[in-house]
């Protein structure tokens, strides 16, 4: 286990739990049991560390997601919106084999990135992984061609909000669900719950 990876692992969990702004380098390095200065030595700055944490996941996720979406785009038949959103499931859950609690951690990080840090992570992701976004939009358009570009813009952002918010507070939600309904739901369960919701939202009738 290298120092660099110890830092990445500790940072990932703390960032997911408490946000980027809410986590100090001192927390990270003491959890990782490395020296404080190691972060700046290995990554240069806290901002670069954040990028490194996100990149580790994106590089794992984006090829799978990309090919799943492109497959849908190239098929003959018109997909349903549920099918489009279901394309995310396998690539997302594959992160659990890549790393323990990978799916949950990644989605929480994504949520943090959109609300912490004044949108710099949004810029980072959209400029670094544009193909994923484009093929997703194409797939949605194929499933619901009547949706205008503008309405699609809004509905996809609503969807982003649904996912991101749900995931950044998924720990709290799963706790409540356990107390109130005596059901142990995991991240895969949450994902399966949310797909019909966002598919119906995006597919809502126009006007």
Partner DNA sequence: AGTCAGTTTAAACATGCGTTTAAAATACCG
Partner DNA sequence: CGGTATTTTAAACGCATGTTTAAACTGACT
CB-CB neighbours of 75 under 10 Å: 12
55 forms part of the interface with its own copies (CB under 8 A): no
- Min separation Cβ 194 and its own copies, Å: 6
Q: Which position has the token pair 């980072």?
A: 124
122 forms part of the interface with DNA (CB under 7 A): no
Comparing CB distances to its own copies, the nearer of 63 and 119 is: 119
Nearest residue to 206 (alpha-carbon basis) of 165, 150, 136, 158 = 150
SS3 110: helix
Comparing CB distances to DNA, the nearer of 3 and 96 is: 3
Partner that binds at residue 41, options DNA, its own copies, none, CB closer than 5 to 8 Å by kind: DNA
Stretch that binds DNA, among 37-45, 53-61, 84-92, 102-110 (CB under 7 A): 37-45
Residues 6+ away with beta carbon under 8 Å from 79: 72, 139, 142, 143
126 forms part of the interface with its own copies (CB under 8 A): no
Site pattern 179..198 for DNA (x: CB under 7 A): --------------------
CA angle 169, 170, 175 (to 5 degrees): 105
Q: Which position has the token pair 């954040």?
A: 50
Q: How far apart are CA 4 and CA 198, in angstroms?
A: 38
Partner that binds at residue 5, options DNA, its own copies, none, CB closer than 5 to 8 Å by kind: none
Stretch that binds its own copies, among 50-58, 70-78, 98-106, 143-151 (CB under 8 A): 143-151
Partner that binds at residue 135, options DNA, its own copies, none, CB closer than 5 to 8 Å by kind: none
Partner that binds at residue 35, options its own copies, DNA, none, CB closer than 5 to 8 Å by kind: DNA
Among 8, 14, 34, 199, binds DNA (CB under 7 A): 34
Question: Any idea how long the chain is?
Answer: 207
Nearest residue to 201 (alpha-carbon basis) of 103, 122, 84 = 84
Site pattern 12..51 for its own copies (x: CB under 8 A): ------xx-xx-----------------------------
CA angle 31, 33, 36 (to 5 degrees): 90
């Amino acid at each position: 286990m290298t120092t660099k990876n110890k830092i990445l692992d500790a940072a990932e969990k703390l960032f997911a739990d408490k946000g980027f702004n809410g986590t100090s380098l001192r927390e990270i390095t003491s959890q990782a049991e490395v020296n404080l200065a190691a972060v700046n030595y290995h990554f240069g700055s806290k901002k670069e560390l954040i990028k490194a944490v996100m990149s580790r996941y994106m590089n794992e996720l984006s090829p799978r997601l990309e090919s799943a979406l492109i497959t849908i785009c190239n098929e003959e038949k018109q997909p349903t919106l549920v099918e489009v959103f279901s394309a995310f499931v396998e690539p997302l859950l594959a992160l659990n084999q890549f790393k323990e609690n990978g799916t949950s951690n990644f989605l929480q990080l994504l949520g943090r990135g959109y609300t912490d840090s004044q949108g710099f992570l949004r810029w980072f992701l959209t400029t670094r992984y544009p193909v994923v976004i484009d093929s997703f939009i194409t797939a949605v358009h194929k499933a619901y061609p009547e949706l205008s570009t503008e309405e699609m813009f809004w509905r996809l952002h609503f969807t982003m909000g649904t996912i991101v918010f749900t995931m950044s507070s998924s720990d709290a939600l799963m706790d409540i669900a356990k107390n109130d309904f005596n059901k142990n739901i995991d991240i895969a369960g949450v994902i399966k719950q949310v797909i019909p919701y966002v598919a119906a939202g995006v597919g809502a009738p126009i006007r």
